[in-house]
A and B are shown apart, each in its own frame.
Chain A
Amino acid sequence: MEERLAEELRFHIEMASERNRRDGLDAAEADRLANVSLGGRARWSEEARDEYRSRLLDDFLQDLRYASRTLRSTPAFTMAAVLTLALGIGATTAIFSAVDGVVLKPLPFSHSERLVRLYQNDRRHGLPRSDVAPGNFADWHARASAFDAMAVAEPYGLVYSGPEGEEQIRNWNVTRDFFRVLEAKPALGRVFGTEEYEPGAPLTLVLTYASWQTRFGGDPAIVGRKITIDHAPATIIGVLPRDFSYLGTRTPQEMYAPKVLDTIELRLRGSAWYNAVARLKPGVTVAQGAADMDRVASQLEHEYPATNARIGVSVVPLRDGMIGDSSRALFLVWGASLVLLLIACTNVANLMLARTNRRAREFVVRTALGAGRARIARQVLTEGLLLALAGAIAGVAVAYWGVGAIRGLSPDSIPRVDEMRVHWRALAFALVAVPGATILFALAPAIHAAGSEVEPELRAGTRSSGRAGQRHTRLLLIGGEVALAVVLLVSAGLLVRSFASVVNQDRGYRSDHVVGATMFIWQWETTPDARRAFADRLVARARSLPGVEGAGITTSPPLTSAIGVDHGPYAVVGRAVPVEQRPVAHLASMSPEAFDVMHMRLLSGRRLSRSDDASSTRVVLVNESLARQAWPGENPIGRRLSTAFYSAPVEREVVGVVADTRQAALDEPPVPTIYLPFAQEPSGGVWLVASTTLEPGSLSRDLKRVVAELNPALPVATIQSFDDIVSDSLRPRRFALALFATFAAAALLLAMIGVYGVTSHGVAERSRELGVRIALGARAPDILRLVMSESLAAAGSGVVAGAALAVAPGRLLDRMLFGVTPLDATTYGSVVLAMLATAMLACSIPARRATRADPLEALREG
């Protein structure tokens, strides 16, 4: 518009200047006068622009009204398009919400960048993020200077006597400054103050929002309510806000209880299980905080060399500690959802192209009546915009549902899962997706519509097959769609195979109907003899429970975080290897029965037995990996190695070899492991494991009771069924798989619909030609071939292109694969076959219809 005005003005000024010259002014004066006569150009060119703009607006409104009318008149098309778009936009928005809630949104604490986690940096065992020992924490708290506040959260469990009987509720025990560190303001009531930490104070609790809603039904009178905890009254004094989540994990810590560090705990520096969090002083960086803690840690190393040698402190921003690996997987899934959106847009583009085709006459008439080509294109784009808008609204509904589903599926290892909510950022994203999608799928049809040619249309009045360009576009789009669908299918296929591999692998042990309970007994059983005796009593009691097949003691069951020492260097006796180069093995102290409880397999030699006790030779079992590592190609039985377990190194003889088990994670390689007899190395922190014929849940209650009978003061730190542990460890994988599989299935469906649509339209377009052919004697197979060949060719090239494209995400997925390579032939092969078969099926339906077409009808339709 600017150009038009400029050109008109140029002409105007030229003419004025000429007249001035004719009137006798000289050239320069003529020009000047001409310019002046146009007056306040700024003001009225603004006016002119406004006029033009309001005209644009009116045109747009008119387009909108027209578009909505035409869309309403073809409900089938509109429905199909809107639903397809809803699917694409909904999926992308849902995933974006997830990504936003987990990765992008800041933590729900004020100045969350000043919050840090404090870990023990266990340099002895190479574990930089270890739990904290109580004694160490007390000293850190007293001596550190870089922090406003420091506190501990201890994962714990309380026995709640509720309306449905007794159950264990997980909670955090938190020290005095905990809520100050997080600057948490309660939603109801208050958080812990100094009174709650007075010695002898009655038990008070602060609930999480979720607990208040689900367990206590959102009781409005919750503050001050008394419940029975550990068989004593406890008062609920507050409820935390909805978006407050410490560590954001979904391990169901429902409430917070005050923790007073008692004198016994304060002496403990060797056993560590605390979770420490702190808030840096304003202006202090994380690096400065780390330096401060290094100072304190080295003081402690000097004062307590036995427990604290080579124990440092890691200061990690709270956010980093929480998000980590999940972001990668989430972004990958987001990529997949974008691909799905692309496919959806392609489908709708095809639908619109077909429609444009049918409306060619309408466009031509409008052109003849004076509408510019740009106007026509704008009309089509407006229709596209309306479709996209409707699709976005429906898509947001899909997203709400989808986010809920994702939340339900998400593994606990994805932090802040509860913060995945569809909220304004996601809605803004949906709004961006709208014009984006519009441009993608309406552009081609708009261009084609604008190019509708007048002459052939008005003359022939039929759908001539001269629109080769358009058909090629449609076939191209189909090829693209199929290619993208293949990419998604291959990714999903690789993940499926990985999952199957992980689940079906030989784990080396059995986890069904096995329950484990952890407890720290060294405070009460302070001598090795006492511990052995306690362990024996415990195992005997546990075995006597109804339904229990076997019970045993171990320090390190698979897939769990160990209690206390769980690995250390070892040396093969007879080989001189310098200390720094000694290989590290996983260490576990087990009672003989524990092997049976977990069905571990003995490969050679003998098992541990009751006779391997404190008075006999020190023996060990090793697993295959260790045997391979220490004595490659030789028989390890009878060999000796030296290893330390809470003591100075001791030489031990290898008496048997056990099959490898998956220790750290199901998809990580087995670790060389040394199994020591519990009787010879009775550690103070143990797992009681028991296998049962009954439901694992009932066993939990009984185990707690058994422990309480032996020592009422002994807290049972966790009780879990091993199946749950395995299942939990699989959740991340299952999550990613579910999402990819859903998208792949949707993509396959959309591609199939697309192929069907294009073929169907091709048939309609060529109905006359086909009618003629049938009349001239063409038989069914010929017609079939004719109709299907185009679409199949497009689909086929799409499959090839997709297979080639799929190599790229395969590389990205590499870390998530297990037991398959990114170029796995089986997966590619099955996907290719499946896609081709689907395309065939989709083509054949309209093709079959074509063969049954009545040639007379077809000819008459001309």
Chain B
Amino acid sequence: MPDHADDILQGTLDMLVLKALELGTMHGWGITERLEQGSKGVFRLNQGSLYPALYRLEHQGLVTSSWKATENNRRARYYALSRAGQRALAAERDKWRRQSQAVNLVLRMTQASG
């Protein structure tokens, strides 16, 4: 699989962003850094698709946002996971786990019969 961020499925990106926010309120740049660190550099996020994702999540009520000051006293928009977002994240996690288990099963099956 090419590791261009463009190909990352939209749903997956949303889930990752939610996960990133689970670790704490953060602004857009912070989320980028977290995701890059968290994936050990595999996901080099096309940072452009981050903001539409954030707006989408906010629209769906899964995150909230507000202007706050950073440590350097600069103004940035901080995003936080909402209650609904937490529930959604849990649900997504389950789904992803089941899906990958299924995929693994299929892959192993093929090898075995091969």
- Measured CB to CB, the residues of A under 8 A from B are 4-5, 7-9, 11-12, 14-16, 19, 37-41, 43-45, 47-48, 50-52, 54-55, 58
B27 partner, pick from A11, A44, A54, beta carbons under 8 A: A11
When C-beta atoms are compared, the residue in chain B nearest to A15 turns out to be: B29
- A-B pairs with beta carbons under 8 Å apart, 23 shown: A4-B77, A5-B51, A7-B77, A8-B28, A11-B76, A12-B32, A12-B47, A19-B33, A37-B47, A38-B47, A38-B48, A39-B47, A39-B48, A44-B49, A44-B51, A48-B51, A48-B52, A48-B55, A51-B55, A51-B59, A52-B55, A52-B59, A58-B59
Q: Is B59 in contact with A55, judged by CB distance below 8 angstroms?
A: yes
* Cross-chain contact of A39 among B46, B55, B74 (Cβ < 8 A): B46
| B59 adjacent to A54 (CB under 8 Å) | yes
**Contact partner, A47, options B27, B52, B75, B76, Cβ 8 Å:** B52
- On B, residues with C-beta under 8 Å from A are 27-29, 32-33, 46-49, 51-52, 55-56, 58-59, 74-77
- Report the nearest A residue to B51, measured CB to CB: A48
Contact residue among B47, B49, B75 (Cβ-Cβ distance under 8 Å from A11)? B75
Q: 6 closest Cβ contacts across the A-B interface?
A: A39-B48, A51-B55, A47-B52, A55-B59, A44-B48, A15-B29
Residues of A within 8 A of B74 (CB): 11, 14
CB A171 to nearest CB in B, in angstroms, measures 70
Contacts of A40 in B (CB 8 A): 48
Instruction: Please state if B56 and A51 are interface contacts (CB–CB under 8 Å).
Output: yes
Chain A residues in 8 Å Cβ range of B59: 51-52, 54-55, 58
Other A-B pairs beyond A8-B51, A16-B32, A45-B51, 7, CB < 8 Å: A4-B77, A11-B76, A11-B77, A12-B47, A43-B48, A51-B55, A58-B59
Distance to closest chain B CB from A811 (angstroms): 56
Contacts of B51 in A (CB 8 A): 5, 8-9, 44-45, 48
Chain A, interface SS category: helix
Complex Cα–Cα for A5 and B28 (A)? 11
Interface centre among A12, A45, A50, A54, by most chain B C-beta atoms within 10 angstroms, is A12
Residues of A within 8 A of B29 (CB): 11-12, 15-16
* Chain A residues within 8 Å of B47, by CB: 12, 16, 37-39
A5 to B58, CA, bound (A): 14
Q: How far is the CA of A257 from the CA of B27 in the complex (A)?
A: 86
Measured CA separation A817–B55 after assembly (Å): 65
Closest to A50 in B: B52
Cβ of A41 and Cβ of B77 under 8 Å apart? Answer: no
- Interchain CB contact under 8 A, B76 and A44: no
Chain A residue at minimum C-beta to C-beta distance from B57: A51
- Min CB distance A51 to B, Å, is 4
- Output the least CB separation between B93 and chain A (Å): 24
Of A4, A44, A54, A55, which is in contact with the most chain B CB atoms at under 10 Å from its CB? A44
| Shortest beta-carbon distance from B97 to chain A in Å | 28
Cα A41 to Cα B50 in complex, Å, equals: 11
Contacts of A19 in B (CB 8 A): 33
Inter-chain contacts of A4 with B (CB < 8 A): 77
- In the assembled complex, the Cα of A52 lies from the Cα of B77 at a distance in Å of 15
> Which chain B residues border A15 with CB–CB below 8 Å?
29
Residues of B within 8 Å of A41, CB to CB, are 48
CB distance from B114 to the nearest CB of A (A): 40
Bound together, the chains give a CA A730 to CA B91 distance in angstroms of 81
- Chain A residues, CB < 8 A from B75: 7, 11
Most buried by B among A15, A40, A45: A15
Cα of A291 to Cα of B66 in the assembled complex, Å: 77
B33, B51, B75 interface centre (most CB from chain A within 10 Å): B51
